[in-house]
Structure 1
């Protein structure tokens, strides 16, 4: 017993597959969820990049410059107080610093500083100010950010006392960061809500289309659906309505054919049964009488074969043939040649040179052959014209027969409605089905010769 070789996969392939499965478990399964995720992730990434650029560059640079400015004023104050000896001169400088530098300075002779460093707050301001003070002065200090929401209190330990400096918080604080963060968050939420509403409307149209397709697949007549949503979804809805209409028409026509088959085949079968019943059981019969009965039965069998061939062709719909590019001039000439051999009197053939149609040639040849056969049986002289128009290629088949009244021009396309002239009543039905399967249409009108004009429009 042979053993099957084991399939070994590289470790990288196994890891990628397991990672793919993990990602699938995390990702939402619905189209709405995935669409919102596609919107949300780039939105968050762009906002994070913007915040980092603002916080990491602009905010830090400005905060560093503000801290350097306040530190320079404090260093100036320290140097001035160290050089001024008189009490009145120091008081004068303290007043000048309060009025022009916006620094409130208080001298505590003989005091000792109990706390060192600073207490942290959100933002780069505390670190920048502490770093600037540490670089500019050689004395211990403590920065208090939390005791007063409008003032930053700085205590500096000098050799003979403590200098308290109250600096306005607005000279150091960057209040714009909260405005920027608020704007980033609010704009992200607003954009996400708008995208959610928009995507929900789009997904609703897709869900409605999927629900209609499911109901139609279960055989329930839901009628045409209203095209809504984006352009692609509207096109899908229009295509679904057209498909639904074609399928309903196809089913109704095939149902009518099946209902009429028994009626059409019953007549030749009845004649065969009567012919067989009237033949003598005993004795001899004359050869001429037997030959006549046999010829009648052969004619009935030929008629039944013709009917069955028409029914099978109608049931197949000629849909298995592969479409190809066909030149109309030789194509119509072949159809006309075959029709003339069958007894049709085609007197005029006018085809615009250079016409080409992407079609199934055998199916379209059958459609034109049916039209020429109808014109041969109901009319006399036949004229064929083919030319290019805005909608595509137009083919006209005119005869000088009795024509069809306007009130019957739509009903004759139904199965067995046009069979009063000796045919099966499927010629026009099959022809229009073939033309519509190519994306075209067929119309009936009055011929210039007084008979019937059949107009084929092919894309």
Structure 2
């Protein structure tokens, strides 16, 4: 029978194959622009209407209030200048004009001078653009018909207006404060300031809501890697608490099911040892013959199978992960295999500490090296960090495994045909135990063709 894990692996492999055949799906431009995290998307939902409201409010204020205020101030200034021009043209004596200029400075806050005998250039233009230039230019055109030039850029705190009169150029200096309304900047500062405060409050509360979801994801990832999840409890919003409670119940059911399976398999395997031992004792009292030797061979094979069942059961035992120097552990396994006569080339990088079930991991590497040594004459092992995982590669120069049979070898008790030398093979649990150990640590074990034509086993354990 095919287990649920095998069905899940086959389904996942089928989905990956289909995805590779169809090619990587390119995300749309909209999906590339929007944030990927829940916190960012939540803040986007909150901030987008706020920013839109501010933009609309600012535009309406700028287009209406600021436009109207600037227009009124420009019209007032144009009226004052028109009065001064009228008084200057009424009496051309220097004494009278000096009195008009003093009156304009004292009562109208205008600094007025007259440069007699001068004329504005024919191509003179008002430097600068903007609403102030437009409104002031329009107001001056409405008040008098003399040529004029507005300069709002040369002076930092004043605006200069030159008006061409019949006997000279009338230069008027006026403070920018007469044409400027501070309510615009006050409005914008209040609006931006309150928005920043509200945005900070929104970030604080949204982070409080997202944190329980992140803890749930971390707990699920740790459990998937075979690490014990301690101190995790449901918290946050009601929906997040429900998801956390469901995760805790699922974890309990999985652990109980694994424990029951392990105890059952271990008990059955242990109970088989008693009759096997009894049979061996009875055969030892018989006279040597061909039939007796065949029975002894069968009993030996059954003992090997029982040991395989027990090893399989121990692979799903209750051993707890501990910080382990994986390169040191791998070197110890290779050294043990060499003492047994194996020829192995080992290349490792600097040591990396991972939370591992040491005995289970040792059994995994031992099975992989024994499998490679059984079918090949030369074995090469390489280990090092690749991206966010530790990758161990085991190559042999044996006959290899056909691509179509690589999924089958992970099935419990499955053995290949004579191309893998069945007579020297085990009971079909070596790769199964190795894959279960790797999966219990959240890793991945896959098979490929070695450069020398044999089998390549790639183990990836996440950091």
Greater RCO (CA < 8 Å, at least 6 residues apart): 2
Please, what TM-score do these two structures have when normalized by structure 1?
A: 0.47
Between structure 1 and structure 2, the one with the greater Rg is 1
Please, what TM-score do these two structures have when normalized by structure 2?
A: 0.47
